[in-house]
Chains A and B, each alone.
Chain A
């Protein structure tokens, strides 16, 4: 339970971090380390070099930029969840963060690190997908922008090039009046979810004007549900319509079975959570 040897380098600037990353093809970036260090301890990860960006305090920020809420690479989950801008403008982000591990983990773990790490059972990749977030990165050729829709490519795998570092994530702010819900089922408080979902819903005169749905824990990436979103949009904002969309969405899933839950159970939980989340999102929405 001790890491295999590696060379530790603390970057004093973003360009130095990129140079250090480029110098070793087996290098990995570390910020909070709350996903990476367990993998190091169990030797599931054996990087040649660890490039620590934790000292880059210029990346420790939450800000509003052009209708987006932008979170810098070294902002911890605890700080982001407690930030007034997040609480007022994007409370679903605070709700998603509250489901990550434990408070002792969130005091070190970062929002960007969780997205770059991409555990398919984790909360923030699914939220990024539901909101069509943009992942801002920096590499040897300068800044790179990745869209969440094409970022999560497989378990622990993303579209991030090996020589790129995530510098920030931009979450588009939902339209005024949009309701939200973030739900998950886990075996214990703090565990990775068996299944979870993010839902955003905007209603106009009892009709669904916009719906955004993403599930996690049901595939090797978080899953957006375009058919269910299309079925809901323009239809009545009622529990019957929500349950029908939830059943349709769950039936299209092909989750895996493991020692924690069977595929059938995951589908069942997904349908239930989607229904609950849509009803909660409607309750939080302000009908225009």
Chain B
């Protein structure tokens, strides 16, 4: 069996894994990081989204052996401490974006990447919907998730000292969230229809 070296949440690991083991299973079963959820296991649902070298990717569409030399971040790394939440997590709580919570870890990882980009560059409005379109929420409540994304993008990243120093006021965040709520109507409707139709296709392209 191949031996791989990778960094997971800041810690170096050397693992011996079967050739065919998926990265989701290596993270969950070998490293005990069960926050990365397994939904569809063919790249459609987004529950298993992790950050690989800072970019959101599907852990279920990545073989563990392909993570050789890579820097992986999972949901377990997101909160700065046991008593603090990352702005994305806080926004998800504030805006009631969790619902059943199954899809949440993947969504948070995609939004963390967007949040980190927002610290140094303008993130276009439509990129929030584009990012969330890669995540299926079977509770179908995309309005609150979209509102959380908008709130999070106005709040600086706790890990990034170069982030803007003046955080948006609570009123700003609320006003943004309300605007987002209106903007989210299209996203929520489309996603709800998608949910009713169910996951039928047998793979994603790429």
Contacts and interface: CB of A to CB of B under 8 A. Distances in A.
Interface of A: 1-8, 10, 30, 32-35, 37-42, 44, 50, 52, 54, 77-78, 100-109, 113-114, 119, 121-123, 187-192, 259-260
Nearest to B56: A104
Which of B130, B133, B200, B205: most chain A CB closer than 10 A?
A: B205
A38 B202 contact: yes
Nearest to A109: B206
| B contact residues, range | 35 or more
B205 A105 contact: yes
B167 interface: no
A129 B206 CA distance: 17
B134 A105 contact: yes
B133 A102 contact: yes
Contacts of B58: 34, 104-105, 108
B124 interface: no
Nearest to A97: B206
B63 A37 contact: yes
Nearest to A117: B205
Contact of B134 (A30, A35, A37, A104): A104
B68 interface: yes
A93 to B, nearest CB: 15
A2 B61 contact: no
Nearest to B133: A189
A104 B63 contact: no
Contacts of B49: 104
B191 to A, nearest CB: 8
Given A33-B66, A105-B58, A107-B56, A4 B204 contact: no
B197 interface: yes
A33 B61 contact: yes
Given A38-B203, A113-B206, A190-B204, 17 more contacts: A2-B20, A30-B66, A34-B204, A35-B203, A40-B20, A41-B60, A44-B202, A54-B66, A77-B206, A104-B49, A104-B57, A107-B55, A108-B58, A109-B206, A188-B194, A190-B133, A259-B200
9 tightest A-B CB contacts, nearest first: A109-B206, A102-B134, A34-B206, A38-B203, A8-B19, A38-B42, A1-B41, A105-B206, A189-B133
B10 interface: no
Contacts of A10: 65, 68
A217 B130 CA distance: 23
Contacts of A4: 20
Interface of B: 2, 18-20, 22, 25, 41-43, 46, 49, 52, 55-58, 60-63, 65-66, 68, 110, 130-131, 133-134, 190, 193-194, 197, 200-206
A190 B57 contact: no
Contacts of B131: 103
Given A105-B58, A105-B204, A38 B43 contact: yes
Nearest to B48: A104
Given A8-B19, A54-B66, A35 B206 contact: yes
Given A2-B20, A5-B19, A104-B134, A41 B42 contact: yes
B20 A104 contact: no
Given A6-B19, A33-B66, A103 B206 contact: no
A78 B25 CA distance: 26
A8 B57 CA distance: 21
A89 B177 CA distance: 38
A16 to B, nearest CB: 16
Contacts of A113: 206
